[in-house]
Amino acid sequence: MTSSNLRIVSLLPSATEIVAALGLTDAIVGRSHECDYPLEIKDKPVCTEAQINSDKPSAQIDADVLDLVQKALSIYQVKTDVLEQLQPTHIVTQDQCDVCAVNFDIVEKAVAELTQSNPKVISLQPNLLSEVWADIERVAAMLGVASEALLRQLQSRVEACRQKTQELVNPPTVTCLEWTDPLMATGNWIPELVELAGGKPLFGVLGKHSPYLAWDNLVKADPEVIIVMPCGFDLERTRQETQQLAQRPEWSTLQAVSNGKIYLTDGNAYFNRPGPRLVDSLEILAEILHPELFNFGYQGTGWERF
C-alpha cells in the first residue's frame, strides 16, 4: 500500500503526532475529539466523544472518572457512523490508559460493526521513553514509511540534554504533579524525563501509572522543586488549579513555595502525550531545572513560574 492509498484514523493525540511526524499528516482522515496538533488536523472529522465534562472542578472530574471505571463503563465512545463513512485503512489507538483515550476493546467492537472497510488496528501501550521509540518504529513499519531519520533526530536531542546533566552533583529533588485535587504524582515516562533533565524525581515509579499522593507525604518529602502538569490541562487551566492548591494550609510550609520554585506547564500539549513532543517536554524540564545550562525558549508557552 502506498502512502497515497492510506486512510488513517487516529484516536489518540500522541498517535496523531507520531503519524504527522512521519510525514503522513495528509493521510489522516479522522481524529479523536482531543487531537489538536499539528493544527492542520483540526478540520478532520471527529470520531470520538467523552462521557465526562472536563470543565468541572478537578475533584469532580476525578470522581466522575472513578465512577465510570467502577461501573466498567468507558469514559469515551467511538462514533461508529463516522468511522463507517471514512472507510479507514488503519486505526491507531491505545491500550495504555482508559482515562487518557478510548480503550482498545471499544475500538475493536466499533471495527467489528464496520461493513464498508476492514481497517488494521494499531494499538500503542508505551510506559517508557524506549517504548515510545519502539511505537514510532512500529507505526512507521505498519504504514510503510521510514522512521530512522525521525528517531535519530529525537534521540540526538535527548542525548544533548543527558550529556549536559550527567555530571551534575546533588541534582534538585523534584515532585511533578499530574493532578491537583486529589493530589497525584506522575509516573510512566516522567521520572525518566526528570532524571535526564538533571533532577531527582520523588514519588511515582518509572513505567507505572501515576499514584495518588497524600499531602502529608508531600510535606514530609518537601521537594526543592514542584512542577504542575495536570493531565489534559493547558497552561491557563493549570494556573487556575495551582491557585487553588495555594489555598491549602500545607502549601506555605513547602520549601519550593518559599524559594519560588513552583512551575506550571502545559501538560496537555507536552508531558501527557507519549509521542515526539516528549522530547520537547524533556527540554522544558531541563530549562526549568537548570537555566544556567539550557535555554530552548519554551518559557511563556510551554511553562511559566507560579
- Please give the average pLDDT of every successive group of 10 residues along the chain, which has 306 residues: 81 94 97 93 91 74 67 69 93 68 69 82 91 96 96 98 94 96 93 97 86 94 97 92 94 97 96 95 98 96 96
User: Strand ranges (DSSP E) for 95-146?
Assistant: 120-124
pLDDT, position 70: 61
Query: Could you check whether 3-146 and 167-305 share the same CATH topology?
Result: yes
pTM equals: 0.90
Q: 10 Å Cβ neighbour count for 120? A: 13
CA 172 to the chain's CA centroid: 24
Pairwise CA distance, residues 254 & 261, whole Å? 10
pLDDT, position 132: 95
DSSP assigned state of 299: B
20 burial level (CB within 10 Å; 0-12, 13-18, 19+): buried
Pairwise CA distance, residues 276 & 294, whole Å? 20
Pairwise CA distance, residues 211 & 114, whole Å? 38
pLDDT, position 100: 52
Pairwise CA distance, residues 266 & 229, whole Å? 6
The CATH topology of domain 3-146 is Rossmann fold (3.40.50)
Assigned CATH class of 167-305: alpha beta
| Domain spans of the chain, in order of start | 3-146, 167-305
CB 256 within 8 A of CB 219: no
The grid coordinates listed for 52 are: 465526562
For residue 30, the SS3 value is strand
pLDDT, position 253: 96
